[in-house]
Chains A and B, each alone.
Chain A
Amino acid sequence: MSAPSRYATRTAPRRARRALALGPGLAVLCAVLAVVAFLSVTQGSRSIGLSDVLRALGSLDNDGSITSTVTLELRVPRTLLGILVGAALGVAGAILQGVTRNPLADAGIMGINSGAAAFVVFAITVLGVRGVGVYVWFAFIGAAGALVLVYAIASLGREGATPVKLALAGAAVTAGLASVTTGIVMTNVDALNELRFWQVGSLAGRYAPILVGVAPFLLVALAVSMFFGRALNGLALGEDVARGLGQHVTRTRAAAFAVVAVLAGAATAACGPIVFVGLVVPHLARFICGPDYRWILPYSMLLAPIVLLLADVVGRVVAAPDELQVGVVLGVVGAPAFVAIVRYARLSEV
């Protein structure tokens, strides 16, 4: 009797301490996100006085001035979109890494973005579809299809879907879909114009209508995703252990992939393929929280929009009066981070 209780007394305070620190940590991240959002509304490629921004925000009514128009019609929707898309990409990356036990999984590497893009192009050219409200459905289908395909290919063979096989299958599917997309676009100038959206992820030029188009999907999927923590913790121990713990592994995976398809599909529909956020942020979250997905998920949800908005603000400020797309800024930061993860991450720990 004494041994188990001693075990309990040794571990319980540690757990409690971590939870104690992580809870307020979320509040701190919320505050940081608020600050970054404020930066995103006040800073941009046009220099606008703080008082003008505050006046516009205070009245919430566009008085027709350029400062008011830029603040309310460009920056506010852009910031909200950045928060939503960032959260979606961060959470999608965390879930993917958990469910595949692959530290290199993200929506870009797993073929999801290219699947979404390919289907959007298909919708534009073959079905004559216009407008993000409709794209979003095709982005979902494409994202889900690519994900299923990648997983199916990686599952072939004896060991099943190992991290390396998933990464390879993802690369193969991405390449295949990219050539399909190129093939379609080559024959259609309209599609080429629309595809420019997809080439590099960007928050620019897509404002209120896009926000309205994707927000419902993202909000619901984000809420649902927060319940995946326990299941992902189980999967992280390996399929057999998870089964032993009474989890229905296949059902968990299917549900998780469905959520990821919605998150990544809607984010891609809105902003084009933005990579690296979904890859790097979950690692950052894991570094802070340890291996518990019940914390990794909310931390990823808050950290990712912070990273995305900061990158967007940097891209707007450094290049004024032009803008750098957020995808470019993230690529500059994300590529070294990716290399660092590949080289130093203890892959088995995910």
Chain B
Amino acid sequence: MRAWRTVVAVAALSAVLAGCGDDSSGGGDSAAAAPAGPWSFTDGSGQVVKADKTPTRIIAHAGEAAALMSFGIKPVGIFADESVKTDPNLKNLDLTGIEILGEEWGKIDVEKAAALRPDLIVGDWWPAEKAHSGMEEGVDEKSKKLAELAPVVGVSQGKSIVALADGYEDLAASLGAKVDSPEIAANKKRFEDSVAAFKQAVAGKADLTVAAMSPADDKVYVANPEYAPELLDLQSWGLKVINPASPDPGFPYWENLSWENADKYQPDLILWDGRSFTATANAEWGKKQPTWFKIKAAKAGAVVAWPAFWLHTYGDFATELDKLTEAVKAADPNVGA
């Protein structure tokens, strides 16, 4: 069970970078000329990680790899939480020449990784678990040995997805990438426009409440904004995202509701975990679980794929935010009343 919950939230960090391939390919292959060093970077955990020379052989978790690649830094190895063919982080990215070290959460081929002679491992830092991606509690003990191959750094999954994107820009810069290319600037601009549009849409729906949810076979999960940077961002931009009353103490990313309590929250719009959302998912769950449609918004079909994936670049976030903006504009603020 614990493993499953871990999968729910942690697989999420591998982020659907939906429809953003063209944005994230910006930057070209300019990273080759890394400065000689010495190198240092302040990890999400607060520790300063140092090296005698600037790392060039990088192994990264999927979403983080996508972020680095958007700045033109090509990792030598990637570990993903699902097949790299379906992992939305890696959509439209050219992975030729990159060794794939894992395609399931918690399972990394450390022998293969060692053969790559990495000098840096990159994975998000998770403050609630005090661990980097790939080394959380619940993963294969063997995969944790990845951390012994090279220093591990990551940006914190903290209070804002914007800070996360900024953090990877800093990391890329420290590794010698050009972070001021016109494409990157264009993505930043696009992101700022998206935020402005989102704020405007939200302001027009003052009474609208939303809940970020993920229905599963044995229970319903309600995301806790406190540990979901993108939900904190949405809140700071005015969207009323429900804070669940009693998140799981051991794994506070979610409040777990038994199916008997599926209707505990009555939002006007359900932000549906993007990893399990399909066009027919709402109808299927209504059929499968007798209490799903006791949530009025579900019954009314007021559901939208939530960018529940901890996005790593401005371009990706802009694309997802635009979809959410449309859903907010179309939502009826009286559904859950």
Contact = CB atoms under 8 A, between A and B. Distances in A.
Interface of A: 44-46, 66, 69-70, 73-75, 185-187, 189, 192, 196-197, 199-200, 202, 204-207, 316, 320-323, 325, 328
Interface string B247-273: 010000001111111011000000000
Contacts of B246: 321
A325 B217 contact: no
Contacts of A196: 4, 216-218
A267 to B, nearest CB: 17
Contact of A199 (B4, B255, B260, B291): B4
B159 interface: no
B263 A328 contact: no
B263 A325 contact: no
Question: What 10 pairs across the A-B complex have the smallest Cβ distances?
Answer: A46-B260, A73-B290, A205-B218, A45-B258, A322-B256, A321-B261, A323-B258, A204-B218, A205-B217, A196-B4
24 contacts: A45-B258, A66-B294, A69-B290, A70-B290, A73-B290, A75-B260, A189-B86, A196-B4, A196-B217, A196-B218, A199-B3, A199-B4, A200-B1, A202-B218, A204-B218, A205-B216, A207-B290, A316-B260, A321-B261, A322-B255, A322-B256, A325-B1, A325-B218, A328-B1
Given A45-B260, A204-B258, 19 more contacts: A45-B258, A46-B261, A69-B294, A74-B259, A186-B107, A187-B103, A189-B104, A204-B218, A204-B219, A204-B259, A205-B217, A205-B219, A206-B217, A207-B290, A321-B246, A322-B255, A322-B258, A325-B1, A328-B1
Given A204-B218, A205-B218, A321 B291 contact: no
Given A320-B261, A321-B246, A186 B104 contact: yes
Interface residues of B, number: 29
Interface of B: 1, 3-4, 7, 82-83, 86, 103-104, 107, 216-219, 246, 248, 255-261, 263-264, 289-291, 294
Contacts of A69: 290-291, 294
Contacts of A197: 217
A199 B83 CA distance: 22
Contacts of B219: 204-205, 322-323
Contacts of A204: 218-219, 258-259
Interface centre among A192, A199, A322 (most CB of B within 10 A): A322
Given A189-B83, A325-B1, A205 B259 contact: yes
Nearest to A182: B107
A300 B258 CA distance: 30
A44 B290 contact: no
Nearest to A209: B288
Nearest to B246: A321
A46 B291 CA distance: 12
B282 to A, nearest CB: 18
Nearest to B248: A322
